[in-house]
Amino acid sequence: MLKEFKIEPSVKPEAKEAVAVVKRPRVSLISSYRQTWKPRNHHFTRYSDVKLKDERRPTVTDLANQKQILQKVHGWKVFHLTAQIEEMAHSESQVHERLSLVLGMMEKLGAGKSIDRDLMRVNELIKGNLQRSKVIQDGLEDSKNQVQKLFDHKPRAEEIIQRYMYKRLAKKREKL
């Protein structure tokens, strides 16, 4: 029971023109580049592939063998810092003295007359600046004392450095 179908192509009397489109080759730098396997071998694909190298903490011997370590222990930077703090405290005390003189003069002016509202406001501002100046002076004195406390440990630090210092380097420096 096979049935045969006959398919007849339908031909239209119209003739179609065939147009051939020529594709231009794409110009690319990538096609001329030949990748080697070296970057692929050294490329990390995940963040977990990269492991940070832990910095090792310097030992006492490493610290003792640093260049000019004994000069650092003597604390010339601390002396400079202390001198700057003292200079700031001195200038702040001069400001405090000037403000107290101005306040005394303003109070003398307002004592004889009825106190003007503006004069009272100026007096309050000067008193506030006096308090601020006093607090700054106290803070500077405290910070200077804290910096000076660093020198309490100086003899112990020098002893440790002398004990762990590499002796040959010290002898070479003495010969020069």
Candidate from 73-87, 89-103, 104-118 with smallest mean pLDDT:
104-118
Range in 93-102, 112-121, 137-146, 167-176 with the lowest mean pLDDT:
167-176
Residues 157, 162, 167, CA angle at the centre, nearest 5°? 155
In this prediction, residue 172 carries a pLDDT of 59
The pLDDT score that the predictor gives to residue 61 is: 85
- Give the pLDDT confidence of 60-74 residue by residue, as tens digits: 888 888 888 888 888
pTM over 0.75: no
- Spell out the residues 6+ positions from residue 144 whose beta carbon is closer than 8 angstroms to its own: 82, 85, 86, 89
- The reported pLDDT for the residue numbered 93 is 95
